[in-house]
Amino acid sequence: MKRVEEEPILTEEGKNKILEELKYLKEVKRKEVAEKIQEARALGDLSENSEFEAAKEEQALLEERIARLETLLYNARVVKAEDLVLDQVSVGTKVLVLDESTGGEESFIIVGNSEEVDPFSGKISSKSPLGSRLLGRKRGDRVEIKLRNGSKAVYEILDIVVP
């Protein structure tokens, strides 16, 4: 297994989801793709068999995904909820902020790897503009980020908790 330069960080939940996906890819998806390849082979001449080529390409992408996830798990440092220090924002913490421009409260869970990012669940990368600005900050701190449209957003950290 190949070691990567920068140690990826996963939450325990993220690690478990990746393990579930790997199990599915290896136990279910591999069989499905193997069946597609066999069915395409049965169609005859492989030199002009688009179904065979498509199935082989799907197999290559599947194996690439499996290898990428296995490498991630091998290299990752897993952050456990019981190890979180809640006096500052870190990977694995949930941050409650006040958006000073709207007066509304929002919460974000800081994750360390793009495999865990899910904006619809409030999971943002520690490398995103907002995530990177929040890292290391404490309750009461204010962070300012530049938005894509050129305007600025200011957030005040109200609380830091275990998700």
Q: Examine the domain organization and report whether 71 and 94 are in the same domain.
A: no
pLDDT above 70: residue 62: yes
Q: Are 140 and 91 in a shared domain?
A: yes
Residues 55 and 92 in one domain: no
- CATH classification of the domain holding 88: 3.10.50.30
The amino acid that residue 78 corresponds to is V
Instruction: Return the CATH number at 55.
Output: 1.10.287.180
Band (42; pLDDT cuts 50, 70, 90): confident
Strand residue runs (E) in the chain: 9-11, 77-79, 94-99, 105-111, 123-125, 142-146, 152-161
At residue 50 the predicted structure's pLDDT band, cuts being 50, 70 and 90, is confident
Contact 79, 92 (CB under 8 A): yes
pLDDT score of 4: 53
Among 54, 79, 104, the domain-final residue is: 79
Tell me the mean pLDDT in the region 132-153.
94
In this structure, the answer to whether residues 65 and 100 fall within a common structural domain is no
Number of domains observed in the structure of the chain:
2
Q: What is the pLDDT of residue 20?
A: 98
Contact (Cβ atoms closer than 8 angstroms) between residue 130 and residue 124: yes
Q: Is 114 left (phi over 0), alpha (psi -120 to 50) or beta?
A: alpha
Q: Are residues 32 and 90 in the same domain?
A: no
CA–CA–CA angle 149, 154, 159 (5° rounding): 135
Q: How much is the pTM?
A: 0.81
pLDDT greater at residue 47 or residue 35: 35
Which residue has tokens 């499905």? 32
Q: Same structural domain for residues 87 and 151?
A: yes
Domain range enclosing 17: 9-79
